[in-house]
Structure 1
Amino acid sequence: MTEPAYVRIAGEIARDIRSGALPARTQLPSYAELAKQHNVSEIVIRRVRDLLLSQGLVYAIERRGLFVAARPTLVRISPERQMEDPEVTFGNEAAGGDDEVRIERESTIKQADEELADIFGISPGDDIEHITVSASEYGKPTSISDSYQLPGTNVAEAEQLEEILADRPPSPTHAVWLEVSSGELVKNVRQRFLKNDGRVLMVSDVSYPKDRYDSFVFRMNLEPQP
């Protein structure tokens, strides 16, 4: 999936802030200057502003502009960015960019148990694709996910994303990757990617270290009601 320009630009600025290239209380260039630097419209830069503000990386002073926050936080934007590749997501968050980010993927075909069969409307024992994605930064684990979908599914066709966020004990494999005990709580997001008719395209179980994110921001498109 192509990354929106405002997400890419916000990621570049975020990396400069976290790396110290843009120290606390530094004033960012004006919207017009940023638009010219990145060859985009000021409308795009205003979306960059909104994203940086929501992440706690900058603050605004009326009639003066945007300034780097004294204590930049790390905020997970979801579900808006959940469809992008993890290299992009964690590369945008890493202070030094994606050079320090390592992503490991494993995809296997297994037989669906009764729970997965019920979710996807198939019979127990039918083929299901299991995808495990593990992410680390500077050798430190940052995320692990288990996703399930029918073989050949194009998840980019999803029209709805449902997410449930909670502090939960991790599964045994998630505990091993995150280097925590099985009884220790982690940040967990359970996702369902759906069509508008309710058909499930993919389910995911994603775990993060409990202190990885200060907060989560959930966004979704709403259809105006007459």
Structure 2
Amino acid sequence: MPEPAYVAIAGKYARQIRTGALPPGTQLPSYAEIAERNGVSQIVVRHAVKLLLSQGLVRSVERRGTFVADRIDLVRLAPERQMESPETSFGQETDREVKVERTSKRLSATETLAEILGVHLGEEITQITTRASEDGRPISISDAYQPLDTEGTEGAAFLEETIADRLPAQTHAAWLNTPDGALVKHVRQRFLARDDRVLMACDISFPLDRYSAFVFRMSLDPEAEAEPAEPEPTAEPIPTA
């Protein structure tokens, strides 16, 4: 799925903020200036700034403009996870080298996986493990499971996510170098078809201290994730900052 312009613009400013290229207190250009530089409308810029606000990277001051936040917290945003590859998503969070490795294998469904996926016990399923690191430091690991007759999340209509602090699976603890008894930030995802059939189930682990918050905003409808629609013209002027 192509990356919407507002996500790309927000990602560009997010990298500059997180790497210190834009220090705390720096004022961002006006909506009009950002729109002109990127060849987009001010409506697209408004959505990009809204994304930065939701990540805690900037603050808005009435009648003055948008400024880099005084204290930067790393917030995990749903569209970055669902609409982009891990390489792009993690790359927007840092200027350091991000490496993503994937392995795939087939295995027999355990009782738990059979119940989650709605398949028979012992039925063959696919497992895809994705490991991500930043300058050699492990930052994420995920296991995705799906029936053999499905591929990716094509055809998914709904996404369920459950987030919790919990003890990691042994393989996740080993990759993240989690001390014995320490917790990780765990996300369980289920991608469902319109008939509630599970197309994919994922278990994702992050270091407990990597993100200060998770923001959930997503759509699995490609048309809904198209560029924000231009509003009907009105007499009210569009703010420039």
Aligned to 1:172: 170
Write the mapping of 1:36-47 to structure 2, written as runs, cut at 5 A.
36-47=36-47
Shift of 1:73: 1.1
Alignment partner of 2:210 out of 201, 209, 212:
212
> Which one of the candidate residues 123, 130, 134 is aligned to 2:131?
134
**1:8 aligns to what?**
8
| More displaced 10-residue stretch of structure 1: 110-119 or 53-62 | 110-119
Q: Matches of 1:121 and 1:28 in 2, distance apart? A: 50
> Letter of the aligned partner of 1:106 in structure 2?
T
Match of residue 227 from structure 2: none
Q: Which residue of 1 aligns with 2:104?
A: 107
Q: Distance in 2 between matches of 1:27 and 1:91?
A: 23
Query: Does the 8 Å contact 1:135/1:144 carry over to 2?
Result: yes
Instruction: For 1:156 and 1:26, locate their aligned partners in 2 and report how far apart those are by CA, in whole Å.
Output: 42
Q: Which amino acid aligns with 1:188?
A: H
Residue range with higher mean Cα deviation, 148-157 or 5-14: 148-157
Q: Which has the higher contact order (CA 8 A, sep 6+)?
A: 2
Q: Which residue in the other structure is 1:20 paired with?
A: 20
Displacement over 3 Å in runs of 4+: none
Q: Deviations over 1:10-30 (max 9, x none)?
A: 111011111111111111111
Question: Which residue in the other structure is 1:70 paired with?
Answer: 70
The Cα shift of 1:157 comes to: 2.2
2:222 counterpart residue number: none
Q: Deviation of residue 36 (structure 1)? A: 1.0
The counterpart of 1:145, out of the listed 142, 164, 170, is 142
Secondary structure of 2:144's aligned partner: strand
Aligned to 1:224: none
CA distance in 2, matches of 1:76, 1:174: 19
Cross-structure match for 1:57: 57
Shift of 1:82: 2.4
Matches within 5 A, 1:72-91: 72-78=72-78, 80-83=79-82, 84-91=84-91
Which amino acid is 1:103 matched to? V
Give the aligned partner of residue 161 of structure 1. Answer: 159
Structure 2 counterpart SS, 1:156? coil
C-alpha RMSD over aligned residues:
1.3
| Secondary structure class of the residue paired with 1:216 | strand
Q: Is the 8 A contact 2:129 2:144 kept in 1?
A: yes
Structure 2 partner of 1:125: 122
Q: Deviations over 1:157-195 (max 9, x none)?
A: 211110111100101010011111241011110110111
Contact 2:193 2:199 in 1 (8 A): yes
Q: Which moved more, 1:130-139 or 1:156-165?
A: 156-165
Which residues of structure 2 form unaligned runs of 5+? 220-241
> CA offset at residue 44 of structure 1?
0.8
Residue 185 of structure 1 is matched in structure 2 by 183
C-alpha contact 1:171 1:182 (8 A) present in aligned 2: no
Identical aligned pairs, as a percentage? Answer: 56
Contact 2:119 2:147 in 1 (8 A): no
Structure 1 residues not aligned, in runs of 5+: 222-226
Q: Kindly indicate whether the alpha-carbon contact (under 8 Å) linking 2:152 and 2:200 is maintained by their aligned counterparts in 1.
A: no
The normalised TM-score by structure 1 is 0.92
Q: CA deviation at 1:109?
A: 1.1
The DSSP-based 3-state class of the residue aligned with 1:204 is strand
TM-score between the two structures when normalised by the length of structure 2: 0.86
Aligned-pair CA distance for 1:220? 4.0
2:14 counterpart SS class: helix
Deviations 1:52-85 (CA, angstroms, capped at 9, x unpaired): 001111101111110111111100112x332221
